Amino acid sequence: MRGVWLIGFVFLGLAAGGQDVPPLDKSPMDMSYFPVNYPVLKIQNKSTGSPVMRVIYSRPQKAGRQIFGGLVKYGELWRMGANEATELEVFSPVRIGGRKISRGRYTLYAVVNEQQWTFIVNRETDTWGAFKYDPRRDVVRVQVPATRTVNPLEYLAIFFEKSATGANLIVEWDHVRVALPIVL
């Protein structure tokens, strides 16, 4: 009986003295690795090395809205998600747009247009939205074609897909899909 009282006291103390839990975000944070599913492969002892890169982003929903040309304005800078700006972490050097990208953390932005996107890799990190964007901190800008998909995707998805030269960073949402080539 004494143990039950002790457990009840601990729970009461946590409830009374603990911090308030923040409300659930409508755009939860997500993370993708290359190699794909690296953390799972690692715990299964199926990985042969370290991860090459990962992307961290907040995943907004379409929720009946017009996304490209509406919520995401054509020709304007976009943080590629919601809340904090999307972040690319590179664990070993890669090439994007012919430029060597050293190991480190970067922010990803895009200028979205109907036929093509301009991906921007920027040195500024830990920022919310695109309010403090400074083009002098750009590492590289790369234009890629935008393709239209048949079926709309309700949630923004950013992930890596293996390619012949390394990986493509795929961004897909609504009826749009773009691929940023990354050479390993």
- Please indicate, yes or no, if residue 33 is contained in any of the structural domains: yes
Instruction: Residue 143: give the domain boundaries.
Output: 23-183
pLDDT for position 18? 60
Q: Is residue 96 included in any domain, yes or no?
A: yes
pTM reported for the whole predicted model: 0.86
Contact 144, 108 (CB under 8 A): no
Is residue 99 situated within a structural domain?
A: yes
d(CA 86, CA 122): 10
Is 28 domain-assigned?
yes
**Number of domains, the chain:** 1
User: In a structure prediction context, what are the per-residue pLDDT tens digits for the chain, which is 184 residues long?
Assistant: 544 444 444 444 444 456 788 887 888 999 999 999 887 878 889 887 889 999 999 999 999 999 999 999 999 999 999 999 999 999 999 999 999 999 999 999 999 999 999 999 999 999 999 999 999 999 999 999 999 999 999 999 999 999 999 999 999 999 999 999 999 9
Note whether residue 104 is domain-resident.
yes
Asked, for residue 2, whether it belongs to a domain, the answer is no
Instruction: Kindly give, in sequence order, each residue whose CB lies less than 8 Å from that of residue 14, ignoring residues fewer than 6 positions away.
Output: none
In a domain, 167, yes or no: yes
Pairwise CA distance, residues 6 & 37, whole Å: 42
3-state secondary structure the chain: CHHHHHHHHHHHHHHHHCCCCCCCCCCCEEEEEECCCHHHHHHCCCCCCCCCEEEEEECCECCCCCCECCCECCCCEECCCCCECEEEEECCCEEECCEEECCEEEEEEEEECCCEEEEEEECCCCCECCCCCCHHHEEEEEEEEEEEEEEEEEEEEEEEEEECCEEEEEEEEEEEEEEEEEEC
Q: What is the pLDDT of residue 178?
A: 98
Spatial CA neighbour of 62 closest among 103, 33, 100, 27: 27
Res 20: pLDDT: 86
1 lies in a domain? Answer: no
